[in-house]
Chain A
Amino acid sequence: MSDEHNISGLDIEKFFDGELSKVQITAFEEKMQVDALFAREVREHRQMRKDLRVIGQRLMLLELMDQFHLQEFGTTPYLKPKSDDNGVDNDKGNEESDSKEADDTVKRDTNRTSVVTLRTFYLSVGVAASLAAIITLGSVWVIDQAGGDIITSESGYQDLLMEEEAEEGKDTNSGRFNRKDDPAIMPVATKKYVATAFAVAKDGYFITNNHVVEGCTNLKLKAKVEDDKWIEFNAKVILNDQFSDLAMVQIEDSGFRELGVLPFTFSSKGALMGQDVFTLGYPKKDVVMEPGTISSTTGLNGDTTAYQLAMSLNSGNSGGPIFNSKGEVVAVVKGKHNGKEGTGYAVRIDYMLELIEKYESENSVTLKKPKYNQIQYKSRVKQISHIRQFVFLVEAEK
């Protein structure tokens, strides 16, 4: 292996990078001539360098094509087209009809005018989302936090569930957090609680907090797509875990087809103390980014299921994903320290992954979880523009 110029395995990469001196290059080439094994190693090395570049190029191309797809056909792939059969069957299977397809597509799109208007939105964001119907939230978003009776399961701890104004008939307890298990303050009308959920698989699976959805009679996932336009899907709780305070929710809506490919992944390593993170959530009638830092690797009173965050969280943030700077999910927001502004708590990613695994094994299914982190090398602004479509508002009626 070693000759007078000490050409070693490490030098192959140097050779391809053009980092060897003239003398070394000569030695390198000579070695290739006389040493068949070495020559093979060099060939393999070259192939691998090429392969790596090709993979990178493919990822870039896939991302690009996803953008084009959204711009051109964005209304169809994520929605169950109502006229799927018509759209496909009107061709007679010959070359001639082929040329009309582009027109057909346009017509099919305009049939669903409600969805077509969203196209501009996609253009600007360039990431997949799924749409069923656009609704306008006409009513005012009432947040009665000042008088809000805080859910204090442990002293100092506060869930970040936001109560929305009851749909009809304001009850006397308006503005209080009511739990079904407290008959004394049981409201007459159902109450709506608002928080955050995020997609974990493109086939419509979401994660949020258990306390958000526990005991709900009706569950909706909503996302804002334009100034005052929202899409909404009916959803149901498919698995929950009180211990970690996580729940898995699935979209169950005839209008739903599939979310686009998730651009972010889940960190298998979790987070470290001091790491900069951010969350996206719905503390108001719009998605909000909140930056922060992991300040402790345990939660309140040594809670090992959670991290402590230096982050200013508000009602509505519950269930939101916590991202690290690479755009990987490392935790899920669950609450904050009541009265100690700027201290939050988030469930460790392990519990989320366990929950998903549990669901998969119990139901013998494999969710279409994201495989590649497409936003790893992007700026935070870019990362958020890719992520935000996958962060939904949860509305739980209890």
Chain B
Amino acid sequence: MDSVNEIPDEALISGIQEGNHQMIHALYKTHYPMVRKLVTENSGSEAEAKDVYQEAIIVFYENVQTKGFNLTCKIRTYLYSVSRNIWLKELKKRLPQTKDLNDHKHFVDINRDFDKHEEKQKRLDKVRNALEQIGEPCNSILTYFFYNRLTMDEIATKMGYTNAANAKNQKYKCFKRLKKLVLKVK
């Protein structure tokens, strides 16, 4: 059970870059206890620890996928640093008098990554909200295409269009509508 703890960072990173689920699994299981400890020792619940940790993994995952990704510390330290940023921000929101966390591990400054993540999050929320408002058939067409990455042929079959060209035309219109909605959403 503990053998996966031995996977070196480099192997994990290249595995994750390839989208290898086993590597994501190994990564996930290795570092959660550390974040659980951080959050639960700083007035959080385990459910909250899980949310914080999963968000940190997402930050890491997406960073690993970007070109020119370069990690200057251990994955463990990175995940800890991102997690503490997330949790500290959440705590400050709840209790404005919160100054700092009670840390059990040293951390690095990842503010730049974190700010980028927050900015991105805002943008994504807008798109997601717009997608929720857009209605059918646009919601299905766009989610099939962009989330599930189905081909237009598959989408046409699934949604009962006579051919892919019709589905494509509908998709173009839907995308335009989505764009309008995104601009409207505050």
Q: Tell whether A pairs with B.
A: yes
Interface positions of A (Cβ within 8 A of B): 9-10, 13-14, 17, 19, 44-45, 47-49, 51-56, 58-62, 64-65, 68-69, 71-73, 76-78, 81, 84, 88, 91, 93-95, 97-98, 101-106, 257-258, 376-377
A102-B127 in contact (CB<8A): no
A17-B168 in contact (CB<8A): yes
Q: Report the minimal beta-carbon distance from A205 to chain B, rounded to whole angstroms.
A: 15
B58-A48 in contact (CB<8A): no
Report the number of A-B residue pairs with Cβ-Cβ less than 8 Å: 121
B105-A98 in contact (CB<8A): yes
Q: Which residue of A lies closest to B33 (CB)?
A: A101
A76-B24 in contact (CB<8A): no
A55-B127 in contact (CB<8A): yes
Could you tell me the distance between the alpha carbons of A323 and B41 in the complex, rounded to whole angstroms? 41
**Chain B residues with CB below 8 A from A69, complex form:** 28, 32, 50, 54
Could you tell me the distance between the alpha carbons of A84 and B143 in the complex, rounded to whole angstroms? 41
A55-B147 in contact (CB<8A): yes
B34-A101 in contact (CB<8A): yes
B173 close to A (CB within 8 Å):
yes
Q: Which residue of A lies closest to B178 (CB)?
A: A48
Could you tell me the distance between the alpha carbons of A47 and B124 in the complex, rounded to whole angstroms? 10
Could you tell me the distance between the alpha carbons of A97 and B38 in the complex, rounded to whole angstroms? 13
B46-A54 in contact (CB<8A): no
Size of the B side of the interface (Cβ < 8 Å), in residues, is 52
Q: Report the minimal beta-carbon distance from A51 to chain B, rounded to whole angstroms.
A: 5
* The residue from B62, B103, B146 contacting A49, defined by CB atoms under 8 A apart: B146
* The residue from A47, A64, A98 contacting B24, defined by CB atoms under 8 A apart: A64
B149-A56 in contact (CB<8A): yes
A102-B5 in contact (CB<8A): yes
A19-B127 in contact (CB<8A): no
> Which residues of B22-77 are within 8 A (CB) of A?
24-25, 28-30, 32-34, 36-37, 40-41, 46-47, 49-50, 54, 57-58, 61-62
Q: Report the minimal beta-carbon distance from B182 to chain A, rounded to whole angstroms.
A: 7
Q: Given A72-B29, A84-B40, verify A10-B172 contact (CB < 8 Å).
A: yes
B104-A91 in contact (CB<8A): yes
**Chain B residues with CB below 8 A from A106, complex form:** 1
Q: Which residue of A lies closest to B41 (CB)?
A: A88
22 A-B pairs with C-beta separation under 8 A: A10-B172, A13-B175, A52-B146, A52-B147, A55-B146, A56-B146, A61-B24, A62-B58, A64-B24, A65-B57, A69-B50, A69-B54, A73-B29, A73-B50, A77-B46, A77-B50, A94-B104, A101-B34, A101-B37, A102-B33, A376-B143, A377-B144
Q: Report the minimal beta-carbon distance from B77 to chain A, rounded to whole angstroms.
A: 10
Could you tell me the distance between the alpha carbons of A190 and B69 in the complex, rounded to whole angstroms? 67
* The residue from B49, B58, B127, B144 contacting A61, defined by CB atoms under 8 A apart: B58
B142 close to A (CB within 8 Å):
yes
Query: Which of B5, B47, B57 has the largest number of chain A CB atoms within 10 A?
Result: B47
* The residue from A44, A81, A103 contacting B179, defined by CB atoms under 8 A apart: A44
> Which residues of B150-186 are within 8 A (CB) of A?
168, 171-173, 175-176, 178-179, 182
B28-A51 in contact (CB<8A): no
A10-B33 in contact (CB<8A): no
* The residue from A13, A62, A93, A377 contacting B172, defined by CB atoms under 8 A apart: A13
A56-B147 in contact (CB<8A): yes
B128 close to A (CB within 8 Å):
yes
Q: Report the minimal beta-carbon distance from B15 to chain A, rounded to whole angstroms.
A: 14
A48-B28 in contact (CB<8A): no
**Chain B residues with CB below 8 A from A84, complex form:** 40, 46
Q: A13-B172, A51-B127, A64-B24 are in contact. List 19 more A-B contacts (CB 8 A).
A: A14-B172, A19-B168, A45-B175, A45-B179, A48-B127, A51-B124, A55-B127, A55-B146, A58-B58, A68-B25, A69-B32, A72-B32, A76-B46, A77-B46, A77-B50, A88-B41, A95-B106, A102-B2, A105-B33
B148 close to A (CB within 8 Å):
yes
**Chain A residues with CB below 8 A from B179, complex form:** 44-45, 48
A81-B127 in contact (CB<8A): no
**Chain A residues with CB below 8 A from B102, complex form:** 93
**Chain A residues with CB below 8 A from B147, complex form:** 52-53, 55-56, 59-60
B99 close to A (CB within 8 Å):
no
**Chain B residues with CB below 8 A from A19, complex form:** 168
Q: Report the minimal beta-carbon distance from B178 to chain A, rounded to whole angstroms.
A: 7
B112 close to A (CB within 8 Å):
no
Q: Given A48-B127, A56-B148, verify A104-B172 contact (CB < 8 Å).
A: no
B124-A55 in contact (CB<8A): yes
Q: Given A68-B25, A77-B50, verify A10-B173 contact (CB < 8 Å).
A: yes
Could you tell me the distance between the alpha carbons of A64 and B61 in the complex, rounded to whole angstroms? 13
Q: Given A10-B176, A54-B124, verify A68-B29 contact (CB < 8 Å).
A: yes
**Chain B residues with CB below 8 A from A94, complex form:** 104
**Chain A residues with CB below 8 A from B29, complex form:** 68, 72-73
Could you tell me the distance between the alpha carbons of A56 and B127 in the complex, rounded to whole angstroms? 11
Could you tell me the distance between the alpha carbons of A288 and B57 in the complex, rounded to whole angstroms? 37
Could you tell me the distance between the alpha carbons of A60 and B19 in the complex, rounded to whole angstroms? 11
Q: Which residue of A lies closest to B171 (CB)?
A: A13
Could you tell me the distance between the alpha carbons of A94 and B103 in the complex, rounded to whole angstroms? 9
